Amino acid sequence: MAGDTGEAQLQVRFITKQEQYAVSDSPYAIQSNVQSVELNTLLNALLKENRPSFEKSVEFDFLICGELLCTSIAEHLQEKGLSTEDTLEIEYLERFPAPSPQDCLMHDDWVSAVHTHGSWILSGSYDNSIHIWNTKGQHKLAIPGHTSPVKAISWVSFNGDQAIFASGSHDQSAMLWVWNVSGNSVDCVVTCRGHEKGVECLAVSADAKSFATGSWDTNICLWSTSLSDEDNVPAKKKQKPDQGNTREPMAVLKGHREAISGVQWMDFNTVVSSGWDHLLKIWDCELGGIKQDIAGNKAFFDVDWSPLSNSLITASSDRHIRLYDPRSTDSIVKTTFTSHTGWVQSVRWSKTRDTLFLSAGYDGFVKLWETRSPKTPLYDLSGHEDKVLCCDWSNPTFLVTGSCDNTLRIFKAKHATGNA
């Protein structure tokens, strides 16, 4: 054994939840100064040895004590205060592949909002317009209608040849639109009015029956997505033929003291909101009251909820991203992620993997994170030449980002076969 502890020998056992990559769980002796590159070589050799038919080389990530290995094993153990004497369990999983740039879609002004569904992309711009694209980069429609920048956009539902989506704007309104997919025509069916200042954020409930908007007026409004005027939805006569019926909110949630920057549904009756008042609020929509307040130390710019991990992530003006477990009885902030050099403007969870999320910042970068690697993002996605204002995933391999450089960028990750 070498005198330097960095080159001490270790007994390790490899484990995985991805059965197709399982190897013998008997211990192996390795040098403690190895990093994930050497572990990858070893693991691929073991796979080929066990299965002669195994031809392709697979890139793996390695978890030690629940955290991704980004240094040598010795440094990782030293940081965790763990001994090199015990047999070490190393969990491995197929690495999420590096997203590569696919398309750069030009707008006439800043791209402030984006939302994907399958192979369709909605984008909203500061030139007051909404656009529909596909993930191949083809432009389907440019849609006028709002009279101020479009700050929020979301698909509501797809039913055969009919797609419904919602938009929110600084013109203080939200609109419900119907897109005839094969005819490629769109109509504004309902205009929602209830805010006294610009609409900044919008989210549709999982059952697609309602949506929430957050505004600079510090209020959240809840709306029905129904296209008809039901008894329980107050409606007025048509305002303008091209603006559809005007609708009032089903409920107004009051409690924030400054602008609301983000809103997301946690379940059919629960909404979480983030505000410039340094607060996250979790609301009971049925009762119209606050279930929980979570205080931050800076203005929040965005929040997203993952039903896969039951966790919140937030974007903030202090450059940090934080992961919250709202059910926690001890520390609610579970992890802090630091890599951006400017304000973090947007965060979005992967819809298929409970440990992956995207962040977009004023530093012009989009970063793809693994929650078990708080110090280093998996990938930096560069290409934008100005502040990045929005990001989203299209299940599970297309990433879409919008920027002040007037572009919408599509990145594609070659689909990983494993289910981490």
Query: Which three-class secondary structure state does DSSP give residue 320?
Result: strand
**Number of Cα atoms under 13 Å in the Cβ half of residue 23:** 22
For residue 376, count other CB atoms closer than 10 A to its CB. 15
Whole-angstrom Cα distance, residue 230 to residue 353?
38
Whole-angstrom Cα distance, residue 79 to residue 414?
33
Q: What tens digit of pLDDT does each residue of 244-284 get?
A: 789 999 999 999 999 999 999 999 999 999 999 999 999 99
- The verdict on residue 419 lying in a domain is no
Is the pLDDT at 33 greater than 80? The verdict is yes
**Residue 275 pLDDT:** 98
- The verdict on residue 417 lying in a domain is no
**Residue 415 pLDDT:** 59
Using pLDDT thresholds of 50, 70 and 90, give the confidence band for residue 5.
very low
**Residue 278 pLDDT:** 97
Q: How far is CA 343 from CA 37, 154, 299, 391, in A?
A: 33, 24, 10, 14
If asked whether residues 80 and 120 sit together in one domain, one would say: no
Whole-angstrom Cα distance, residue 279 to residue 256?
8
Using pLDDT thresholds of 50, 70 and 90, give the confidence band for residue 418.
very low
Using pLDDT thresholds of 50, 70 and 90, give the confidence band for residue 239.
very low
CATH number at residue 116: 2.130.10.10
If asked whether residues 84 and 197 sit together in one domain, one would say: no
- When the pLDDT of each residue in the chain is averaged and rounded to a whole number, the result is 91
Q: What tens digit of pLDDT does each residue of 301-325 get?
A: 999 999 999 999 999 999 999 999 9
Which has the closest alpha carbon to 391: 415, 370, 368? Answer: 368
**Residue 86 pLDDT:** 83
- The verdict on residue 59 lying in a domain is yes
Domain limit, last residue, from 41, 61, 94: 94
- The verdict on residue 271 lying in a domain is yes
Phi, psi of 419 (to 5 degrees): -115, 85
CATH number at residue 26: 3.10.20.90
Whole-angstrom Cα distance, residue 23 to residue 152?
47
Is the pLDDT at 231 greater than 50? The verdict is no
If asked whether residues 81 and 105 sit together in one domain, one would say: no
If asked whether residues 274 and 356 sit together in one domain, one would say: yes
**Residue 379 pLDDT:** 95
If asked whether residues 205 and 76 sit together in one domain, one would say: no
State the distance between the two ends of the chain, measured CA to CA, in whole angstroms: 36
Domain limit, last residue, from 94, 114, 147: 94
- The verdict on residue 420 lying in a domain is no
Using pLDDT thresholds of 50, 70 and 90, give the confidence band for residue 50.
confident
Is the pLDDT at 227 greater than 80? The verdict is yes
Residue 349 β-bridge partners: 357
- H or E segment and range at residue 14: strand 9-15
SS (H, E, C) 97-114: CCCEEEEEEECCCCEEEE
**Residue 242 pLDDT:** 58
Q: What tens digit of pLDDT does each residue of 149-181 get?
A: 999 999 999 998 999 999 999 999 999 999 999
If asked whether residues 31 and 144 sit together in one domain, one would say: no
Is the pLDDT at 95 greater than 60? The verdict is yes
Is the pLDDT at 1 greater than 50? The verdict is no
DSSP string, 115-152: EEETTEEEEEETTS-EEEEETTS-EEEEE---SS-EEE
Whole-angstrom Cα distance, residue 322 to residue 359?
11
- The verdict on residue 121 lying in a domain is yes
- Strands laid side by side in the 130-134 sheet: 111-117, 120-125, 130-134, 139-143
What is the pTM for the complete model shown? Answer: 0.91
> Mean per-residue pLDDT for 36-56?
89
If asked whether residues 89 and 164 sit together in one domain, one would say: no
Number of domains in the chain: 2
Residue 258 domain boundaries: 100-412
If asked whether residues 225 and 155 sit together in one domain, one would say: yes
Is the pLDDT at 354 greater than 90? The verdict is yes
Using pLDDT thresholds of 50, 70 and 90, give the confidence band for residue 332.
confident
- The verdict on residue 418 lying in a domain is no
Residue type for 101, please? P
If asked whether residues 378 and 283 sit together in one domain, one would say: yes
If asked whether residues 79 and 107 sit together in one domain, one would say: no
**Residue 105 pLDDT:** 96
Domain limit, last residue, from 65, 94, 123: 94
If asked whether residues 231 and 297 sit together in one domain, one would say: yes
> Mean per-residue pLDDT for 116-144?
96
* Residue recorded with tokens 């398309």: 103
If asked whether residues 343 and 362 sit together in one domain, one would say: yes
**Residue 288 pLDDT:** 93
- The verdict on residue 239 lying in a domain is yes
Whether the CA torsion 378, 384, 385, 387 is positive or negative: it is negative
